Structure 1
Amino acid sequence: MGRRQRDQERERLFTRRSLLLGVGQAGLFGALGARLYYLQVIEADKYATLAEDNRINMRLLVPPRGRILDRFGEVLATSRLNYRVVLVREQAPNVEATLDAIGRLITVGESDRRRVLRDVRRKRAFVPVMVREDLSWEEVARMEVNAPDLPGVSIDVGQSRLYPHTEAVGHILGYVGAVSEVDLKGSNGDPLLELPDFRIGKNGVEKIHDQALRGVAGASQIEVNSVGRVIREVNRDDGRPGRDIELTIDIALQEYVRERVGEESTAAAVIDCRNGELLSLISAPAFDPNMFSAGLKANDWEELQAHPKTPLTNKAVSGQYSPGSTFKMVTALAALDAGVITATQTINCPGHFELGERRFHCWKYKGGHGSLNLTEALMHSCDVFFYEIARRIGIDKIADMALRLGLGAASGIELPGERAGLIPTRAWYQRRRGTSWPQGETINASIGQGMILTTPLQLATMTARLASGLAIVPHLTKTVGGRAPIDRAHVAPASLGLNPQHLALVQRGMAMVTNEQRGTGYKARITEPGMEMAGKSGTAQVRIISKAERDTGVKKNEDLPWRFRDHALFVGFAPLVNPRFACAVVVEHGGGGSSVAGPLVRDILLETQKRDVLKRLAGCPTCGGEHRG
């Protein structure tokens, strides 16, 4: 091949390579041009929004908390609008300087400042931290006018809890509060709990039904500029509001009972004997849950804590008291069930009972009550009668009957802090003390003294079971989101399996207490025909009475300091025929059960029955025949 031919071959090769290179460059620039067209024309709106330091933020939306209603739909807890200042750390160049600037516009307390600085350290940088809430319109206006000079700061509108009936429902509803670090640890990373306006149930029904009341969080996509000002909302999902909780409580009756017991240290419970629904549950003195919703001040908390009558304690479910003579029906039924006593059999009361070298006295008469049968012993509340039948049957049979009637075990009521009380047995004593059960404790237990402890709710449950013969279980929740709880839907209370004749005998004895002139509760009787009640008083000692004091004369309650006075108790059910309602009242250090607690039970049961008559007369098919009277 000549030189000319070789040059032509190299020239063709070069031309092909140049052509391939040119095609590649053209394809590359074409793809680049197409991408530029896509970004600048097709996606122009999206990237125009993101230009000049604008961006799209995703914010969780707190769902409206569910309401709590009484049995007739009256609102017990709801939510109201709450304007607050929030700060986002990643948008604020200097948090302390920003707080100083906010403080020149609205009042920011030192405690709020410390809280904000703590929260911005423990929360993620993009999570808003509340600086102050419950702003007035003037404060909102000042913040909005100065918003461009406060990067990372904005006004947020949320909700705070409102309890229209204040102290009447404090112990039942509880309250909501800010999420603590302990709550965060147990949240499984739920981002809702990190939001500044989020509140969770801290006590009462608010705590027990917190998950249902919370609802499901929503989300909002918002466009904000470089200083954090919201430009517009791009997209919004409101989530799902919390479910309403309907309680069995009748708020009108609840307020009546609360007013009737006053400011004495008292617990009261009213229960429907047919199904266990609690119509009223009171612990006095009480607290206003709105104080906690708005943020309890330190001095208010200290005052509540230091109060001698413990307003923060729900005595109805957490208070444990010796039941006194209200326990005698338990001993009576245990003796009847064991066959050691009959309806007509009598026992003589000389005023005392001898056990070894120890003498147990009857409660009132030094000379004794004489010969009594069981119903008469209940009517006169004769201690010696019950000492004797308890000696015959022993503590274990008494304990079995007590447990059967709802004492000595937590009921499972939908409230935190319920106490189980104590019904001792031989085995329990052996495990606890390492020695055998002393016979003297059986004598004490027969009249509800000694080691026995019960709660007012348990006493109301016991009375409802005595009145109905059914295994009544007290409860507060009627519906959750419009539906009855699964564990109670269409389930009728089971029978206790008690001998109907034995039960009727005890019921007759209780009726004699309040309706026979010689009965210990006669002065507290209901005189309205058809509404009469059966009852039993109890007076529980809180101090030991020495032999010397008995010889010289036992001091009267009114002569003792308040904390050494006897507890006053009374239980009752009404009406006498086909009992519908049961009530128990405990007045701490109130003195005599028949004189102090008896009139309270009388008035409460009378009001309950009157309201029931009005409701039935104004029967409403949409609420099962019940309507606010």
Structure 2
Amino acid sequence: MKRPPKDVIESARTISRRALVVGGVQLGVIGALGWRLQSMQVEQADEFRLLAEENRINIRLLPPARGLIFDRNGIPIAANEQNYRVVMVREDAGDVGAVLAKLTEIVEIAPDDLMRAMDEMQRRSPFVPVTIADRLSWEDVAQINLNTPALPGIQAEVGLSRVYPWGADLAHVVGYVGPVSDYDLSRIDDPDPLLQIPKFQIGKTGAENKLEQSLRGSAGTRRIEVNAAGRIMRELDRQEGDPGKDIQLTIDSRLQSYVQARLEGESAGAVVIDLENGDLRAIASAPSFDPNLFVRGISTTDWTGLNEDRYRPLAAKAVQGTYPPGSTFKMITLLAAMEEGLVAADETVYCPGFTDVFNVRFHCWKGGGHGNVNLHESLKQSCDCYYYEISQRVGIDKMAEMARKLGLGIRHDLPLSAVAQGLAPDKAWKTSVRGEDWRIGDTVNASIGQGYVLASPLQLAVMSARLATGREVTPRLIKLIDGVEQPTGLGDSLGLNENTLRRIRSSMYDVCNHRRGTAYGSRITDEARKMAGKTGTSQVRRITPEERAAGVTRNEDLPWERRDHALFVGFAPFDNPRYAVSVVVEHGGGGSRAAAPIARDIILQAQFGGPPPLEAYPSGLHDQIAAQQRRIEARIPPGAKGHGQV
């Protein structure tokens, strides 16, 4: 049927409109394609040219500069130094063995380093750079760069490595860093990508470890152009990361160096606290070790030597070592009894040289006894029987409570490795831990710092600081973080009776300054800097009745590991205390002979801010002290001499 002309005309118009729409869409698509082609051919030509030549762009992390650590005077004690190294990306290298063979023709690389690097490459992702060798000379780096075309996947880099200018003197405080290990990664739930950087260093011990997050910083990035052979063609752009925060400790590195030198030859720990703010001026453990050995990768010989040394140089004895405090604990027993009103200052206890408690005999250190002794004489002459008696009145729970109030049996919050809690035992502790009831003999033993009681040199220094001030002095190690002052450890009042504290301090003064005091031989003769303190000797072996009847073997005649520990705690100046000190000499024998002279020398050094004049010592010691000062001055680093107080 023939369509009317009107319908034909309308149909033509509809087709024309559709054709125009379709044509417009087609033109739009063609235009968009044309614009995209123009963009790809003109604006992005360089990028596609790289791809056409089988080049690629890699993004690599840039390790940030690790934060520095300073002592209280602004002296660097953990710094960074330039370190030239060569790394390989397995994905870019192709034949790894062949490339390494060429590399060894250019620079000398130890076979052990090559084996280690090849093992690491097998464990890492193929695109992760692995360090082949570090601490290269500039000449080695130049040779590698000249031969880069023949060394696909090889790159010479310059980075930063940790260095410890004071070596062993601050090893137990600052600690050390080392390359990230698989063990380190296994302990972290969400590891920072920085930890995948070859030979990236993190804190392993000490402040380096405990302050890792502050010191590490955040990564930067760089975009590099790499060709098909793995050769880096150019760096396209770089964005530096944020460096770690600088940290200033409270330690006086010069005093610390002196203390380490003074402890030389002993297995010992010593702590000095500033009573004005709780600042730890020195935390020394002897012997020590060079932390730089660990940064570079310690040798088997060095590691074996440190581990087999019976003096345990790797142990931070000042904070992690715990010892029976011996007679230094007597102030706690006395305070507990006096605060409860169970003993009067003028009351006397008779000491015949022993005390019998339920058919068990407890001996005084002085076999013939001290006779009648009161509070003052009991501390001055360190009579054990006095404390055997008063401890039975006060009981262990009150003694333990007082011990904790004075800082024993508490883990002090410091950024150091393995800070010990020690032990201030009570009845509940023995029931829960030992499954036994507390006995009266346990109380008698604890009254003179034996039995279950354990304390570290740090805790004993805190105890001395609190006795000297009557305040809850808290040890502080961090002074500033990125210039921001950290809270001090000044502390509030302990709430103890001031008259009681005065009597105890007076007795401690006579310990050091009265002819019958146990530390009289270690007195200070400078009137403005006199010291108060308490000696202590703690047994590490049981003396049998048979040995006691035959005569107790002298410490000097025993093997070293069976000798008594020697202890001393004190503070100075007596009239206006500024410093508290504790010294523990492992198996040193008597506290008056081995520990007190060291403590005296340390606290004088702290007060004078350098070597004290000979006039501060008894005249009979001048020649000995002069020789000792010459020895120590020759031993400590040049920068440590002639330091001043801050």
TM-score (norm 1): 0.92
SS at match of 1:267: strand
Letter in 2 for 1:39: M
SS at match of 1:264: coil
Matches within 5 A, 1:300-315: 300-315=302-317
- In the alignment, the residues of structure 1 paired with residue 426 and residue 21 of structure 2 have an alpha-carbon distance, to the nearest angstrom, of 101
- Structure 1 residue aligned with 2:573: 575
- Structure 2 residue aligned with 1:564: 562
- Structure 2 residue aligned with 1:352: 354
SS at match of 1:172: helix
CA distance 1:357–1:34, shift in 2 (3 Å): closer
- Structure 2 residue aligned with 1:240: 242
- Structure 2 residue aligned with 1:468: 469
- In the alignment, the residues of structure 1 paired with residue 337 and residue 176 of structure 2 have an alpha-carbon distance, to the nearest angstrom, of 45
Matches within 5 A, 1:15-34: 31-34=32-35
CA distance 1:19–1:401, shift in 2 (3 Å): closer
User: Post-superposition shift, 1:49?
Assistant: 4.7
User: Post-superposition shift, 1:19?
Assistant: 10
- Structure 2 residue aligned with 1:450: 451
- Structure 2 residue aligned with 1:620: none
- Structure 2 residue aligned with 1:617: none
- In the alignment, the residues of structure 1 paired with residue 91 and residue 239 of structure 2 have an alpha-carbon distance, to the nearest angstrom, of 25
- In the alignment, the residues of structure 1 paired with residue 285 and residue 611 of structure 2 have an alpha-carbon distance, to the nearest angstrom, of 26
User: Post-superposition shift, 1:20?
Assistant: 10
- In the alignment, the residues of structure 1 paired with residue 531 and residue 569 of structure 2 have an alpha-carbon distance, to the nearest angstrom, of 10
User: Post-superposition shift, 1:115?
Assistant: 3.0
CA distance 1:18–1:162, shift in 2 (3 Å): same
User: Post-superposition shift, 1:57?
Assistant: 1.5
Matches within 5 A, 1:363-374: 363-364=365-366, 366-374=367-375
Q: Please tell me whether the aligned partners of residues 50 and 56 of structure 1 are also in contact (alpha carbons under 8 angstroms).
A: no
Letter in 1 for 2:405: R
- In the alignment, the residues of structure 2 paired with residue 406 and residue 477 of structure 1 have an alpha-carbon distance, to the nearest angstrom, of 19
- In the alignment, the residues of structure 2 paired with residue 508 and residue 346 of structure 1 have an alpha-carbon distance, to the nearest angstrom, of 17
User: Post-superposition shift, 1:396?
Assistant: 1.2
CA distance 1:54–1:354, shift in 2 (3 Å): same
Letter in 1 for 2:254: A
SS at match of 2:583: strand
CA distance 1:394–1:189, shift in 2 (3 Å): closer
| Segment of structure 1 superposing worse, 436-445 or 230-239 | 230-239
- Structure 2 residue aligned with 1:584: 582
- In the alignment, the residues of structure 2 paired with residue 460 and residue 111 of structure 1 have an alpha-carbon distance, to the nearest angstrom, of 47
Matches within 5 A, 1:40-79: 40-79=41-80
Query: Which of 257, 265, 274 is the equivalent residue of 2:276?
Result: 274
CA distance 1:62–1:331, shift in 2 (3 Å): same
SS at match of 1:104: helix
- Structure 2 residue aligned with 1:399: 400
User: Post-superposition shift, 1:18?
Assistant: 11
CA distance 1:572–1:48, shift in 2 (3 Å): same
- Structure 2 residue aligned with 1:132: 133
User: Post-superposition shift, 1:628?
Assistant: 5.6
- In the alignment, the residues of structure 2 paired with residue 613 and residue 264 of structure 1 have an alpha-carbon distance, to the nearest angstrom, of 21
SS at match of 1:231: strand
- Structure 1 residue aligned with 2:155: 154
RMSD: 2.5
- Structure 1 residue aligned with 2:617: none
User: Post-superposition shift, 1:439?
Assistant: 1.1
User: Post-superposition shift, 1:31?
Assistant: 4.8
CA distance 1:19–1:581, shift in 2 (3 Å): closer
- 1:181 lines up with 2:147 in the alignment: no
SS at match of 2:237: strand
Q: Deviations over 1:417-457 (max 9, x none)?
A: 01111111111112233332111111111111111111110
CA distance 1:450–1:19, shift in 2 (3 Å): closer
Letter in 1 for 2:76: V
CA distance 1:570–1:31, shift in 2 (3 Å): closer
- In the alignment, the residues of structure 2 paired with residue 543 and residue 236 of structure 1 have an alpha-carbon distance, to the nearest angstrom, of 65
- Structure 2 residue aligned with 1:541: 539
| Segment of structure 1 superposing worse, 282-291 or 145-154 | 145-154
User: Post-superposition shift, 1:148?
Assistant: 1.2
- In the alignment, the residues of structure 2 paired with residue 248 and residue 447 of structure 1 have an alpha-carbon distance, to the nearest angstrom, of 33
- Structure 2 residue aligned with 1:165: 166
SS at match of 1:90: helix
Q: Please tell me whether the aligned partners of residues 187 and 193 of structure 1 are also in contact (alpha carbons under 8 angstroms).
A: no
User: Post-superposition shift, 1:98?
Assistant: 2.9
| Segment of structure 1 superposing worse, 201-210 or 45-54 | 45-54
- In the alignment, the residues of structure 1 paired with residue 436 and residue 227 of structure 2 have an alpha-carbon distance, to the nearest angstrom, of 78
Letter in 1 for 2:272: V
Give ranges in structure 2 of 5+ residues lacking alignment. Answer: 613-642
- In the alignment, the residues of structure 2 paired with residue 197 and residue 431 of structure 1 have an alpha-carbon distance, to the nearest angstrom, of 46
- In the alignment, the residues of structure 1 paired with residue 27 and residue 431 of structure 2 have an alpha-carbon distance, to the nearest angstrom, of 98
Letter in 1 for 2:609: R
Letter in 1 for 2:590: G
User: Post-superposition shift, 1:469?
Assistant: 0.6
Q: Please tell me whether the aligned partners of residues 285 and 309 of structure 1 are also in contact (alpha carbons under 8 angstroms).
A: yes
- In the alignment, the residues of structure 2 paired with residue 478 and residue 31 of structure 1 have an alpha-carbon distance, to the nearest angstrom, of 64
- Structure 2 residue aligned with 1:525: 523
SS at match of 2:485: coil
Q: Please tell me whether the aligned partners of residues 474 and 490 of structure 2 are also in contact (alpha carbons under 8 angstroms).
A: no
Q: Percent identity?
A: 49
Matches within 5 A, 1:154-553: 154-185=155-186, 186-364=188-366, 366-485=367-486, 488=487, 492-553=490-551
Aligned residue-pair number? 607
